[in-house]
Amino acid sequence: MKGSTVTLVLSVLSREPMHGYSMTKEMERLSQGVLTLKEGTLYPILHSLERDGLIVARWESTPGGRDRKVYHLTDEGRGELRRRAQEWEQFRTAVDAVVQGGVWAYAGA
């Protein structure tokens, strides 16, 4: 997952504002348990994204009266996500071409 965590966090936040724990659970849910992100990895990423102006954090009250920090994607964050999604598509296409070429070459041997 290294190198893709920022893209994953931005993608999850593009759906709706969330607090950290919700982000980790949503990522696990969407990936059917394949992708897990520990809080020790997530929060430094969130702080970096906030420092770079790609997300903003707001304290919000829950129905139970507890306050928690909820992260929102900024317009700059949406632009960065679009850029990263294009890069990811190019990377995925290139890897698929190499892997599929290898599979076909192996199958034909």
**Do 70 and 19 touch, CB atoms closer than 8 A?**
yes
Q: Is residue 17 scored above 70 in pLDDT? A: yes
Q: Is residue 109 scored above 60 in pLDDT? A: no
pLDDT attached to residue 68: 93
Over residues 88-93, mean pLDDT: 91
Over residues 39-61, mean pLDDT: 95
pLDDT attached to residue 39: 85
CA angle 34, 37, 39 (to 5 degrees): 155
pLDDT attached to residue 107: 58
d(CA 77, CA 67): 24
Q: How far is CA 20 from CA 24, 25, 41, 46, 94, in A?
A: 7, 9, 11, 8, 32
Q: Has this prediction a pTM greater than 0.75? A: yes
Domains, in order of start, for the chain: 5-107 (1.10.10.10)
53: Cβ–Cβ under 8 A, 6 or more apart, which residues? 74, 76, 77
